[in-house]
A and B are shown apart, each in its own frame.
Chain A
Amino acid sequence: MSKNREPKKYMNPYLGGVLLGLVLIVAFWVSGRGLGASGAVKSVVVAGVETVAPQHAQNAVYYKQHSEDSLKSWLVFEMLGVLVGGFLSGAIAGRLKFSVEKGPHVSGKIRLIAATVGGIFFGLGSQLGRGCTSGSALTGMAVLSLGGFVTMAAIFGTAFALAYFARKLWL
Chain B
Amino acid sequence: MGPLVANEIISPDTNLFLAFLIGIGFGFVLESNGFSSSRRLAGMFYGYDTTVLKVFFTAAITGMLGLLFMSLFGWIDLSLIYINPTYLWSAIGGGVIMGVGFILGGYCPGTSFCAASIGKLDALAFIGGIFLGVLLFTEAYPLWENFFNAKYLGSPLLSSVLGLSRGVMTLLIILVALGMFWVGEWAEKRFARDDYKLNQK
Residues of A in contact with B (beta carbons under 8 Å apart): 6-11, 13-14, 16-38, 41-42, 44-46, 49, 60-63, 66, 72, 74-75, 77-90, 93, 95-104, 111-112, 114-163, 166-167, 169-171
A-B contact pairs, 23 of them (CB 8 A): A11-B33, A17-B59, A19-B29, A20-B26, A81-B20, A85-B26, A85-B29, A89-B118, A103-B39, A104-B195, A115-B105, A118-B105, A119-B132, A120-B101, A122-B130, A123-B134, A125-B95, A133-B102, A141-B173, A151-B91, A151-B92, A162-B103, A169-B104
The main secondary structure of chain A at its interface with chain B is: helix
- Closest CB of chain A to B42's CB: distance in Å? 5
Are A119's CB and B127's CB within 8 A? yes
Known: A29-B75, A79-B23, A100-B120. A38 touches B55 (CB 8 A): no
Closest 6 CB pairs of A and B: A119-B129, A118-B105, A81-B23, A123-B133, A129-B94, A21-B62
Q: How far is the CA of A77 from the CA of B118 in the complex (A)?
A: 19
Residues of B in contact with A (beta carbons under 8 Å apart): 2-6, 10, 15-34, 36-39, 42-46, 51, 54-67, 70, 75-76, 80-88, 90-123, 125-139, 141-142, 144-145, 147-148, 153, 155-159, 161, 166, 169-170, 173, 181, 193, 195, 199-201
**Which residue of B has the minimal Cβ distance to A90?**
B118
**Which residue of A has the minimal Cβ distance to B161?**
A146
The answer, among B81, B120, B144, for a CB contact under 8 Å with A28, is B81
Are B23's CB and A128's CB within 8 A? no
Are B31's CB and A141's CB within 8 A? no
Known: A87-B117, A129-B98. A119 touches B158 (CB 8 A): no
Q: How far is the CA of A20 from the CA of B58 in the complex (A)?
A: 8
Across chains A and B, the number of contacting residue pairs, with CB separation under 8 Å, is 547
Are B29's CB and A20's CB within 8 A? yes
- Closest CB of chain B to A51's CB: distance in Å? 14
Q: How far is the CA of A93 from the CA of B84 in the complex (A)?
A: 36
A-side contacts of B87, CB under 8 Å: 130, 147
Known: A13-B55, A130-B85. A35 touches B113 (CB 8 A): no
**Residue with the greatest number of chain B CB neighbours at <10 A, chosen from A85, A99, A127:** A85
Are B113's CB and A130's CB within 8 A? no
Are A99's CB and B28's CB within 8 A? no
A-side contacts of B121, CB under 8 Å: 98-100, 112
The answer, among B34, B110, B134, B142, for a CB contact under 8 Å with A82, is B110
Given contacts A17-B55, A21-B59, A136-B94, 12 further A-B contacts (CB under 8 A): A20-B62, A30-B2, A30-B3, A60-B138, A83-B116, A89-B28, A118-B104, A132-B109, A143-B67, A147-B85, A158-B95, A169-B104
Are B83's CB and A130's CB within 8 A? no
Are A45's CB and B98's CB within 8 A? no
